[in-house]
Structure 1
């Protein structure tokens, strides 16, 4: 049996200098993109399994929500500690180990014999997934330097592909095998991805700040702007999750059947995937502020259009609304490195993702309470008002961005 060298996980692959310079960013983007697809798929396949677990363990809806919350809570809560840890340990090592831990969690879930074991397994898997967002985003940012905005859009787009593919694959597997065997097969995919990260992904480096392509000029220009960027991200996530909470009820009130509502939601998600890809590209060319003003203004206008239009025209505009709803996030992610000291990139991404994921969890509850008080139509209109409230924040953010990123 071969013995691996002690620096195995952090070693770069041997290549001629010119070839390595060209291939390292692409290899980083490919590895982190595949990893992103896996982890986002791991997160959303739980929705497919909730009815199965309810039948298997006789769980109430409240306990099902707890099962879902254990995974997402561990993922969100550990991102900031993971970002700090990455300042001491190579991000590549943490990504590979995190993916391995997430896969192990699903192995344990497949072997669990009761609710306690299942909950612990989901907690472990969520903890493994906490490494993915902050560390992979920072790795892409460092690999591409000032040109990272477009690649970060591709990276975010890959997550939407995982959300669409892995839950669908799990649903097909449940028709063929038991849910326990399905989870073991899903965990095997995670083990393969962890191995690919260890073998193929270039080292990120714990001391990469000294070699970062992000200039100190851009860092000084962005001083003080991260708080405004985080506020925009939190409100943007609240708008997205709040609107999606009410959309099925709005469609039902317009006369949509369940299959029609499912199709309409799919149109939003398809548009959202396209938005993450296209708006990252757009932000690279027209600047952060113009893109945010366009997407948030478009979001508000299209939400109001969905409220006012009959069923068929409302469904027609949903893909474009999906582009606007999800498009802002890619632009914001791409701006994080510009407002952060190079050696704190992982920590900044961890804080940003924690804020946006936490907002996405809390906002539906708050908008739901508003909906109980004033009805779904006015509560949905409130999400449009929230989107418009982002615009003045974006104008404040403009003064903290480098000149070539301003509107």
Structure 2
């Protein structure tokens, strides 16, 4: 059976050629949706955990970093460990391990049990990103920018739905049963992936070498830009539940606010992809990061209704930038090392997402949450000169 080559993935193909690539993309998207949903639904639990365990802002950031830090720090080892596994087995295993972590969190084991569960879930999610990204890249070769955008968009679908679902359930039942339900969803998805993904890999070996056509110049700077972009996003998300609460929002309002932000982020994938095609990588990132900083500062002053209106707009630019950066990874990766490049990229961005909230939380603990949000906004502004420095490499 032939695999999909570098032909435009949107053009009609014979069914025997189209089905494997479509199944690969669908499976990768389903896994990305669940794992990103797992990651961002944790924000809905932060106010509850703060009250139950008596944690400070920095303490909450450290607690959450047990998940995100483990996920980011194990990207490269996980990619190497599962390199001999088929994508089908690797993604199903990743999802099952993450679901097991949420199952441990749901048990009445106190704060230590919660910490162990977060680490275990992070181990599972560390496998998904590099293997899912590489699967899409190998399947579509040099035509992978579009499918990678779809894959990235699927993650934002999870970011929009899982926090909203958790927020709707939390006023009705205790948080541990809610986490248990999330674990059950994860186990169901793990079994579903075994049916969606082909048992045999359909990626042509020559596509792996073609998808990474650079000598790696500029890639470290791209990783740094991605890290700052993620730090901005995670820093703001740390304070958003408390910002809405201070404006008079309830737990349900907080869930709605997160859903609005993430829904805007999902839309931002398409908008920023369109923007990137017309303005290029440099100017699209400059525009989105400048607007991100302005919107963040604006939400500090707006009323609760006005803030809820602004959150989808903020989400478009806050999350949309990552789609532009993500699609550039195969272009700046060294030849034949796209999988490793994605693992390094995710190590940088997820590691920044784990560490930055601790820094912002410490700033807020020694001042207030306004200063924490301002620090995140300044981080977004700092990306602008960094991405301009990337111009000579992209031109070459």
TM-score, structure 2 normalization: 0.79
**1:363 counterpart = 2:363:** no
Query: Aligned residue for 2:8?
Result: none
Return the match for 1:390 from 369, 377, 383.
383
Correspondence for 1:7? none
Gaps of 5+ in 1: 1-11
Total equivalences in the alignment: 381
Change (3 A) 1:249 1:110: closer
- List aligned pairs for 1:18-33, cutoff 5 A: 18-33=14-29
* Structure 1 pair 206–394 and aligned structure 2 pair: CA distance change class (3 A): farther
Q: Deviations over 1:185-230 (max 9, x none)?
A: 43333233222322322468599653337356x323xx22110101
Q: The residue matched to 2:120 in structure 1 has which SS?
A: helix
Give the deviation of 1:326 after TM superposition: 1.0
Q: 1:18-97 counterparts in 2 under 5 A?
A: 18-47=14-43, 59-61=53-55, 68-97=64-93
8 Å contact 1:208–1:343 — kept in the other structure?
no
What is aligned with 2:225? 232
- Quote the Cα distance in structure 2 between the aligned partners of 1:44 and 1:327: 16
Report if aligned partners of 1:214, 1:338 keep a CA contact under 8 Å in 2: no
Question: 1:257 pairs with 248, 251, 255, which one?
Answer: 248
Q: Which residue of the other structure, out of 128, 131, 148, is the alignment partner of 1:152?
A: 148
Distance 1:284 1:196, change over 3 A: farther
For 2:35 and 2:199, locate their aligned partners in 1 and report how far apart those are by CA, in whole Å: 20
Deviates more, 1:325-334 or 1:152-161: 152-161
Per-residue deviation, residues 54-92 of structure 1 (Å, max 9, x unmatched): 89xx74437876654433332222112112234433333
Question: Could you tell me whether the CA contact under 8 Å between 1:239 and 1:387 is conserved in 2?
Answer: yes
Q: Distance in 2 between matches of 1:151 and 1:276?
A: 12
RMSD: 3.8
Q: Which of 216, 219, 222 does residue 214 from structure 2 map onto?
A: 219
Q: Secondary structure at the match of 2:393?
A: coil
| CA distance in structure 1 between the partners assigned to 2:192 and 2:29 by the alignment | 12
C-alpha distance in 2, partners of 1:392/1:275? Answer: 22
Partner of 1:143: 139
Contact 2:20 2:202 in 1 (8 A): no
**86, 98, 103: which one aligns with 1:102:** 98
3-state SS, counterpart of residue 84 of structure 2: coil
Contact 1:88-1:206 at 8 Å conserved across structures: no
Q: Contact (CA 8 Å) 2:75, 2:343: kept in 1 or not? A: yes
1:297 to 1:171, Cα distance in 2 relative to 1, 3 A? closer
How far apart in 2 are the matches of 1:47 and 1:308? 22
Residue of 264, 287, 292 corresponding to 1:271 = 264
Cα offset for 1:43? 2.9
Contact 1:280 1:334 in 2 (8 A): no
> 1:204 & 1:225 partners in 2: Cα distance?
35
Contact 1:72 1:126 in 2 (8 A): yes
Question: SS where residue 401 of structure 1 aligns?
Answer: helix
Cα 1:297–1:169 change in 2 (3 A) is closer
Structure 1 residues 344-370: Cα deviation after superposition (integer angstroms, max 9, x where no partner): 222222221221122122223333444
Task: Specify every segment of 5 or more residues in structure 2 that has no aligned partner in the other structure, as ranges.
Answer: 4-12
Q: For residues 172 and 330 of structure 1, do their structure 2 counterparts lie closer, same or farther at Cα, with a shift above 3 Å needed?
A: same
- Report what 1:6 is aligned to: none
